[in-house]
Structure 1
Amino acid sequence: MFNDRNQASDVVAVTERAYARIAPKWWPANAGGALVIPRRHVENLYEIEQDDGHAVWDLTQQVAKAMSSSYGCDGVSTRQHNEPAGGQDVWHLHVHVLPRVRNDALYQRHPNSRWVAADERRPFADTLRAALKLPTSFV
């Protein structure tokens, strides 16, 4: 299912149990954030099978390293939310991997996030894909 927030060109890596893609929503100083998602549906952290959890975390680490080395950012943060009170608003587990720059005030700027068009996401996907050197097909 592809739409303006979900394009095949957003996918940067696919493993047996997880995949990574450029996120369709960005914060002002944190362009090119990625999502790492288990391939099997699981609503939140409480429900994930151990092997899928390891796969998600392993790919999260790979994406973070690739982002750090290829984006020129000052650091990387990860976020994962569970239940509405925990900030979850998408009902499929995913881990945010966010490029950070000094004084970006990421956590204070949540209301300033915006949906990003596919053509704006594409250069970041190309950069991460090249840095990761992992398969990008679901077959």
Structure 2
Amino acid sequence: MSTPWPFVASWWWPNNLGHVLVIPTAHHENLYDLPAQSGHAVHDVVREVAIAMRTSYGCTGISTRQHNEPDGYQTAWHYHVHVFPRYPDDNLYNSRRLPTPATAAEREPYIQRLLGSCD
């Protein structure tokens, strides 16, 4: 088993900027293929990211999402978990992602905020 890798995602939703993806470094296509030990490791990191996000983003909640198979809205064929900052009336589930990906420069402040909360 390898350590999961969190990163600030390049696709953002209008009111939930800086969401994070947590992925295992070993390839697992979806939840069905994920060994229990890797699943536990991923969710330990998801928890750490959620706590850091709540502390550093000033959000009032966290949502996680994970999709399996086309009918489950899986579009990337490598297991991963989305961690979204949530705010009052943010409309996450009724909005579409922004049309262009965030640049590295746009993602950098969120990375720094998350890293700063881990000190």
Smaller-chain TM-score bracket: over 0.9
Structure 2 unaligned spans of 5+: none
User: Aligned partners of 1:77 and 1:60: how far apart in 2?
Assistant: 10
Structure richer in strand, relative to its length: 1
For the aligned residue pairs, the C-alpha RMSD in angstroms reads 1.3
Q: How does 1:19-34 map to 2 (within 5 A)?
A: 19-34=5-20
1:75 matches 2:55? no
Deviation per residue, 1:84-118 (Å, 9 max, x gap): 11010001011000001100110100254541111
Change (3 A) 1:68 1:113: farther
Task: Provide the secondary structure at the position in 2 that maps to 1:25.
Answer: coil
**Contact kept? 2:31, 2:68, Cα under 8 Å:** yes
List gaps (5 residues or longer) in structure 1. 1-15, 134-139
SS at match of 1:93: coil
Q: Is the 8 A contact 1:27 1:113 kept in 2?
A: no
- The alignment's TM-score, normalised by the length of structure 2, stands at 0.94
Percent sequence identity is 47
Rounded to whole Å, the distance in 2 between the matches of 1:110 and 1:84 is 18
Asked if residue 119 in structure 1 is aligned to residue 112 in structure 2, the reply is: no
Paired positions, count:
118
* Superposition misfits of 4+ residues, deviation over 6 angstroms: none
